C-alpha cells in the first residue's frame, strides 16, 4: 500500500487523485489543501503551510508526495527539496529546476543556451524600456517574470492594451517585483505536450490542446481554461518525432548539462509555426484543464508509475494511453473571469452516466449539496472513438448538470482543428 499526498485543490488535482485512486496498486491518499469533492476519495492533510505539511508527511509516514500545482515547488525552501531532506520521494522538481516555470527569463535563457526553438524576446524593467522594445510592432506577447496565478501573460494586439498591461506590471507593480518579457508573437495552432521526466530519462504522454478564452470562437478575456481535448491522433505525421528531437530531448539534456535535477511532469506549451514547433513556456506540473482530458485516457497502474518515477525508475510500460479522443468541458460561474459568484447550487451531478466530473471551484453547502465556490466550477469529461463522438457525448452529458449563472463554451473540441 502506498501512502500518497497530493498538493493542490483544483480540477487537475481531482483528476490526479482519481487516477491514483483507480490504480490497481492499493493507495491511501491525502490531500493538501484539497476540496470537499477531493475529500470524498482522499483524507485531509492536517497542515497549513509548507513546514507543517512536511511535519505531517513525516508523522503520517507518507511514501510519496505529488505536486499537482506549482506554487509549493518554489515556496520557502521548495516542496521537493524539503521532501528530499525528509527522505520522501516527490513527483515534482526541486526549487532550482522549477525556475523553468517560475521565472520566464530563466526559461528563455535556458532555451537559448540549449538551442531549443522559441520566439525572440527582450527583458525590461521600466515602462520606457518596454515601449522601446515593442517598437510599435503588434501583436506582441508580454509576460511578467514570476508567478502571477495565470494572470501574468497578455497577448496585445494594439498599443492601448499593451500600455495598460505594462502599467499594471511595471507601473503599479500589481504582481510585485520582477522584469517584464517582451516576446515575439508566434502564430499557429497551440499544442500542450507533457513528459514524465526522471533524471536523464523521459516519456512523452498523450498531447492535448486547451481553450483559454471565455467565449466561443476564442473571443473574450483569457481564463484558466474553458476546456481541453486530448488524443494520440493529435501527433499527426512525424510531429511527435519532431517535437521529441527539437524540444523534449534537448530540454532533458539541458537539465542534465545545467545540473538541474528533475523528477515529475514537465509541460511544454508549444506553437506549431510554419518554421516548426516552437516553445512558448515550460510548466513544472501537468496542465489544467489538460490533465482532466488526458488522465481518463490512461490505463495501467498510474500510482505505481508515479511512485517508481519519484524514486528514479521511469516505467513507461506501467501505463498505456487509450485510442480515441477525450474532451473536457469546463463550466464557469457567473461573472467569470472578471469576478466569480459563489453559492449557486449545482444540480444533476448524480445524473451523469457516460462522463466524469472533476470539481474545481465547488464546496458542500449546509445541506450536503455541492455549490459554486470559484471561477471555474467543474469539468465534465467524455471519451469517444472519434473526436465528433466525444464532443457529442460531452455536450449531451453536460446538459444534465447546471447551476444559476453557468457559463460554458459550445465549441470545445470542434474549434482549432
Ligand atoms: N492549461 C494551461 C496551464 O495549465 O497552464
Pocket flag, ligand 1, residue 225 (CB < 6 Å): yes
Q: Which of 133, 150, 183 is the last residue of a domain?
A: 183
- Answer yes or no: do 25 and 90 share one domain: yes
Q: Best of 192, 227, 266, 292 to mutate for ligand 1, by most ligand atoms within 8 A of CB? A: 192
- Answer yes or no: do 91 and 159 share one domain: no
**For residue 209, how far is its CA from the centre of ligand 1 (angstroms)?**
10
- Answer yes or no: do 20 and 95 share one domain: yes
Pocket flag, ligand 1, residue 288 (CB < 6 Å): yes
Closest residue to atom 4 of ligand 1, CA basis: 287
CB 262 within 8 A of CB 255: yes
Q: Which atom belonging to ligand 1 lies closest to the Cα atom of 290?
A: 1
Strand 2-8 and strand 64-67: pairing?
A: parallel
Q: Which residues contact 69 (CB under 8 A, 6 or more apart)?
A: 7, 8, 9, 10, 12, 13, 285
Is 196 a domain residue?
no
By three-state DSSP, how is residue 302 classified? Answer: helix
**For residue 225, how far is its CA from the centre of ligand 1 (angstroms)?**
7
**For residue 288, how far is its CA from the centre of ligand 1 (angstroms)?**
5
- Answer yes or no: do 18 and 87 share one domain: yes
Is 50 a domain residue?
yes
Closest residue to atom 5 of ligand 1, CA basis: 287
For residue 172, the domain's CATH number is 3.30.1490.20
**For residue 289, how far is its CA from the centre of ligand 1 (angstroms)?**
7
Pocket flag, ligand 1, residue 371 (CB < 6 Å): no
Is 300 a domain residue?
no
Q: Which atom belonging to ligand 1 lies closest to the Cα atom of 286?
A: 4
- Answer yes or no: do 64 and 34 share one domain: yes
pLDDT for the residue 148: 79
Q: Which of 140, 166, 183 is the last residue of a domain?
A: 183
For residue 56, the domain's CATH number is 3.40.50.20
Q: How many domains does the chain have?
A: 2
C-alpha to C-alpha distances, 179 to 70, 129, 160, 169, 369, nearest whole angstrom: 20, 11, 20, 8, 45
Q: Produce one character per residue of 310-339: b if its CB has 16 or more CB atoms within 10 Å, e if not.
A: beeebbeebbebbebbbbbbbbbbbebbee
Q: Which atom belonging to ligand 1 lies closest to the Cα atom of 287?
A: 4
Q: Which of 183, 205, 237 is the last residue of a domain?
A: 183
- Answer yes or no: do 141 and 87 share one domain: no
Pocket flag, ligand 1, residue 210 (CB < 6 Å): yes
pLDDT for the residue 152: 86
DSSP class of residue 322?
P
The number of angstroms, rounded, from the C-alpha of 258 to the middle of its chain's C-alpha atoms is: 25
Is 32 a domain residue?
yes
**For residue 283, how far is its CA from the centre of ligand 1 (angstroms)?**
8
Is 131 a domain residue?
yes
- Answer yes or no: do 82 and 125 share one domain: no
Specify the residue for cell string 503551510. Answer: 49
Block means of pLDDT (10 residues each) for the chain, 417 residues, are 97 98 98 98 97 98 97 96 98 98 94 97 95 94 83 90 95 93 95 98 98 95 94 96 98 98 98 96 97 98 98 98 97 95 97 97 97 98 98 98 98 92
Domain extent for 156: 120-183
- Answer yes or no: do 18 and 60 share one domain: yes
Amino acid at each position: 500500500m502506498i501512502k500518497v499526498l497530493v498538493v493542490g485543490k483544483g480540477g487537475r488535482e481531482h483528476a490526479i487523485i482519481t487516477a491514483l485512486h483507480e490504480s490497481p496498486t492499493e493507495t491511501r491518499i491525502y490531500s493538501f489543501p484539497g476540496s470537499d469533492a477531493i475529500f470524498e476519495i482522499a483524507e485531509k492533510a492536517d497542515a497549513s503551510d509548507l513546514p507543517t505539511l512536511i511535519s505531517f508527511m513525516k508523522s503520517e509516514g507518507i511514501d510519496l508526495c505529488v505536486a499537482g500545482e506549482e506554487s509549493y515547488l518554489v515556496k520557502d525552501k521548495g516542496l521537493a527539496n524539503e521532501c528530499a531532506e525528509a527522505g520522501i520521494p516527490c513527483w515534482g522538481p526541486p526549487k532550482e529546476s522549477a525556475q523553468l516555470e517560475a521565472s520566464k527569463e530563466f526559461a528563455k535563457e535556458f532555451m537559448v543556451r540549449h538551442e531549443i526553438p522559441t520566439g525572440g524576446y527582450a527583458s525590461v524593467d521600466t515602462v520606457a524600456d518596454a515601449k522601446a522594445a515593442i517598437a510599435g510592432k503588434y501583436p506582441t506577447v508580454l509576460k511578467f517574470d514570476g508567478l502571477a496565478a495565470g494572470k501574468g501573460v497578455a497577448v496585445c494586439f494594439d498599443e492601448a492594451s499593451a500600455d495598460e498591461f505594462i502599467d499594471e506590471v511595471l507601473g503599479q507593480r500589481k504582481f510585485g517585483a520582477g522584469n517584464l518579457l517582451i516576446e515575439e508573437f508566434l502564430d499557429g495552432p497551440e499544442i500542450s505536450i507533457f513528459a514524465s521526466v526522471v533524471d536523464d530519462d523521459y516519456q512523452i504522454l498523450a498531447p492535448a490542446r486547451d481553450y483559454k478564452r471565455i467565449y466561443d470562437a476564442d473571443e473574450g478575456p483569457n481564463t484558466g481554461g474553458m476546456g481541453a481535448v486530448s488524443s494520440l491522433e493529435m501527433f499527426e505525421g512525424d510531429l511527435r518525432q519532431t517535437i521529441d528531437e527539437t524540444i523534449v530531448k534537448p530540454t532533458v539534456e539541458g537539465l542534465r548539462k545545467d545540473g538541474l535535477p528533475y523528477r515529475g511532469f514537465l509541460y511544454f506549451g508549444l506553437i506549431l509555426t510554419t518554421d516548426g514547433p516552437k516553445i512558448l513556456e515550460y510548466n513544472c506540473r501537468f496542465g489544467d484543464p489538460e490533465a482532466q482530458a488526458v488522465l481518463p485516457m490512461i490505463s495501467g497502474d498510474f500510482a505505481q508509475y508515479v511512485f517508481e518515477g519519484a524514486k528514479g525508475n521511469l516505467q513507461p510500460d506501467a501505463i498505456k494511453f487509450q485510442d480515441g479522443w477525450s474532451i473536457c468541458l469546463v463550466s464557469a460561474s457567473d461573472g467569470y473571469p472578471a469576478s466569480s459568484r459563489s453559492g449557486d447550487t449545482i444540480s444533476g451531478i448524480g445524473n451523469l452516466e457516460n462522463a466524469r466530473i472533476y470539481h474545481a471551484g465547488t464546496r458542500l453547502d449546509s445541506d450536503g449539496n455541492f455549490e459554486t465556490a470559484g471561477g471555474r466550477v467543474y469539468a465534465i469529461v467524455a471519451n469517444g472513438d472519434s473526436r465528433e463522438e466525444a464532443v457529442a457525448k460531452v455536450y449531451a452529458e453536460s446538459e444534465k448538470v447546471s447551476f444559476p449563472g453557468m457559463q460554458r463554451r459550445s465549441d470545445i473540441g470542434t474549434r482549432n482543428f
